[in-house]
């Protein structure tokens, strides 16, 4: 059992001073905006990403640090977790998509997506989770997707959709295991968001029309609009929330 917290002024609950946050895939896009939001809330941030060329200056801009990391490399993830034993907030955000019809999805396509989007999330939860459990304190937030709840169209992306459904259920499984030990595990499930990942879709008239037409709010999210949801889940503002998938999709899943 974890002790109930003492009441505090409500805006103080969102402050992260003195906490170290790691954001995977934080060099650009949604991950960068999440890291920026956490830094503005007071956290010390480490961006962990494959892409050092973009990630180094991005980390500098936030007053944080950069670590090269391939989340699919379990040994590298373990080494980073050992190097940063004081991490209290882990954001699993690295992700890739392959838009292929199911019947043309080769073994390598399936495996590549699963390795980044699902295996990588588990390796990071397991390795950073150990030190959080030892300290009895930590918050993990993964970037899942509305694709874990619905199957997107018109573009095919079977491996991506399944990987994100896996992240949502991994979230629930770990929340159940670790809830009484002080470590909360949640995810955000964004809808279409304007980042390099969606550029191809926006340039494809049929995809763009469907994406906008099927979103009740009639637009894509800007990447900074995902960050407040992550801040809520990462901070003490959500002290009694665990195992949750917070959908941030302009209403897409309503239809
Ligand atoms: P992005 O492609 O702009 O950024 C992804 C970042 O992850 C890049 O910096 C890339 O270098 C890094 N990365 C890729 N593979 C990696 C690996 N093996 N190890 C470490 N870092 C790696 O993508 P975006 O759009 O910012 O997506 C971020 C997350 O949000 C992903 O998990 C994605 O699936 C999810 N998401 C994106 C949506 C969108 O519409 N853009 C909607 C819902 C979820």
- The verdict on the CB of residue 152 being under 6 Å from ligand 1 is no
> 111 vs 125, 160, 236, CA distance in Å?
19, 10, 36
Residue with tokens 């470590």: 183
- The verdict on the CB of residue 70 being under 6 Å from ligand 1 is yes
| pLDDT, tens digit, 9 for 90 and up, residues 118-172 | 999 999 999 999 999 999 999 999 999 999 999 999 999 999 999 999 999 999 9
Q: 221 near 193, Cβ under 8 Å?
A: yes
Phi then psi dihedrals of residue 24, to 5 deg:
-80, 150
Q: For residue 2, what pLDDT is reported? A: 86
Task: State the Cα–Cα distance between residues 81 and 158, nearest whole angstrom.
Answer: 31
User: DSSP class of residue 168?
Assistant: H
What is the 243 CA–ligand 1 centroid distance (Å)? 22
Which of 149, 188, 197 is the pocket-test mutation for ligand 1 (most atoms within 8 Å of CB)? 197
Residues 172, 175, 177, 180: is their CA dihedral positive or negative? negative
- The verdict on the CB of residue 140 being under 6 Å from ligand 1 is no
Q: Which residues contact 194 (CB under 8 A, 6 or more apart)?
A: 202, 220, 221, 222, 223
Task: State the Cα–Cα distance between residues 227 and 236, nearest whole angstrom.
Answer: 15
Residue with tokens 């396509």: 109
Q: For residue 1, what pLDDT is reported? A: 79
- The verdict on the CB of residue 198 being under 6 Å from ligand 1 is yes
Residue 190 Cα: closest atom of ligand 1: 43
Q: What is the mean pLDDT of residues 238-246?
A: 98
| pLDDT, tens digit, 9 for 90 and up, residues 190-220 | 999 999 999 999 999 999 999 999 999 999 9
What is the 224 CA–ligand 1 centroid distance (Å)? 14
Closest listed residue to residue 95, CA positions, set 77, 80, 114: 114
Taking all residues of the chain, what is their mean pLDDT, rounded to a whole number? 98
Which of 24, 25, 190 is the pocket-test mutation for ligand 1 (most atoms within 8 Å of CB)? 25
CATH fold, domain 10-247, is Rossmann fold (3.40.50)
| pLDDT, tens digit, 9 for 90 and up, residues 101-115 | 999 999 999 999 999
What is the 94 CA–ligand 1 centroid distance (Å)? 5
| pLDDT, tens digit, 9 for 90 and up, residues 53-64 | 999 999 999 999
Q: 55 near 27, Cβ under 8 Å?
A: yes
Q: For residue 199, what pLDDT is reported? A: 93
| pLDDT, tens digit, 9 for 90 and up, residues 1-43 | 788 999 999 999 999 999 999 999 999 999 999 999 999 999 9
Is 160 in the active site?
Answer: yes
- The verdict on the CB of residue 148 being under 6 Å from ligand 1 is no
Catalytic annotation, pick one of 32, 160, 192, 252: 160
């Amino acid at each position: 059992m974890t002790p109930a917290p003492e009441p505090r002024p409500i805006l103080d609950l969102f402050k992260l001073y003195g906490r170290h946050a790691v954001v995977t895939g934080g060099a650009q896009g949604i991950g960068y905006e999440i890291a920026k939001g956490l830094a503005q809330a007071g956290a010390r941030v480490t961006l962990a990403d494959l892409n050092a060329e973009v990630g180094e200056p991005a980390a500098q801009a936030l007053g944080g640090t950069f670590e090269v990391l391939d989340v699919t490399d379990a040994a590298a993830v373990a080494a980073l977790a050992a190097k940063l034993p004081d991490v209290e907030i882990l954001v699993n955000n690295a992700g890739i998509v392959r838009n292929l019809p199911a019947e043309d999805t080769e073994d390598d396509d399936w495996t590549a997506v699963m390795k980044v989007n699902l295996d990588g999330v588990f390796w990071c939860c397991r390795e950073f989770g150990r030190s959080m459990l030892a300290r009895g304190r930590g918050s993990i937030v993964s970037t899942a997707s509305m694709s874990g709840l619905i199957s997107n169209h018109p573009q095919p992306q079977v491996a991506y959709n399944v990987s994100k459904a896996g992240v949502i259920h991994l979230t629930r499984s770990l929340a159940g295991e670790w809830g009484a030990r002080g470590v909360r595990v949640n995810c955000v499930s964004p809808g279409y968001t304007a980042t390099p990942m969606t550029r191809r879709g926006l340039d494809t008239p049929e995809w763009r029309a469907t994406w906008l037409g099927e979103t009740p709010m009639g637009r894509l999210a800007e990447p900074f609009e995902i960050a407040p949801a992550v801040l809520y889940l990462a901070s003490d503002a959500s002290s009694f929330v665990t195992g949750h998938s917070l959908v941030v999709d302009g209403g897409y899943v309503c239809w």
